[in-house]
Amino acid sequence: MKNLLFSIGFILIASTPLFAQSTSCTELLNYVERNGRSKGSVSSLSLYDSSWLSEVEAYTIEGNLAVVATITKNEYDMYGKKYVFCGIPSSNWDAFYYGTYDYGLSYGERFHKYIFDYVCECY
C-alpha cells in the first residue's frame, strides 16, 4: 500500500505542479533511488572541473525519467546535498549526458540548460 501511495505521489509530482507539495523531498529521493532503474550517471571523476556539481544519476521509474544530482555549496563541501529533478524528457538527459549538440559546454552548463528547470517541487 505504501509503495502504491509513493507511486501515485511520484506520478503526480512528475506530471503536475498542483500536487507537488504532497510528498517530502527525502521520501521522493529515497523512493527514486530504491525503485528506479539506472539509466546512466556522471561521476565526480567526470565532474572534476565543476565547483558545484559532484554527481548526477538518471533513473527511469514508472515510465518517467528522474535525475538525482549531488550539489555542493563550494569546493570545500565534501558531501553536498542531493536534489531530485522530475519529468525530464529523455532527449534532455541525452543532450546533457552526451553533449552532442553543445560542443564546448561543460557538464555544469549542460545541466543548467537541460535538467535544472525540472526540479521537483516537493517539501
Model pLDDT for residues 61-75, shown as the tens digit of each residue: 999 999 999 999 987
pLDDT confidence band for 21 (50 / 70 / 90): low
Span 4-15, mean pLDDT?
Answer: 47
Span 34-51, mean pLDDT?
Answer: 92
Span 4-32, mean pLDDT?
Answer: 64
pTM: 0.79
Q: How do the domains of the chain map onto residue ranges?
A: 38-123
Percentage with pLDDT > 90 across the chain: 63
Nearest to 108, CA basis, from 61, 30, 54, 33: 54
Residue type, position 38, single letter: S
Span 33-45, mean pLDDT?
Answer: 95
Span 82-100, mean pLDDT?
Answer: 95
Provide the grid cell at 77: 563541501
Provide the grid cell at 4: 502504491
Provide the grid cell at 69: 544530482
More confident residue, 121 or 21: 121
Q: Is the CA virtual torsion 24, 84, 50, 80 positive or negative?
A: positive
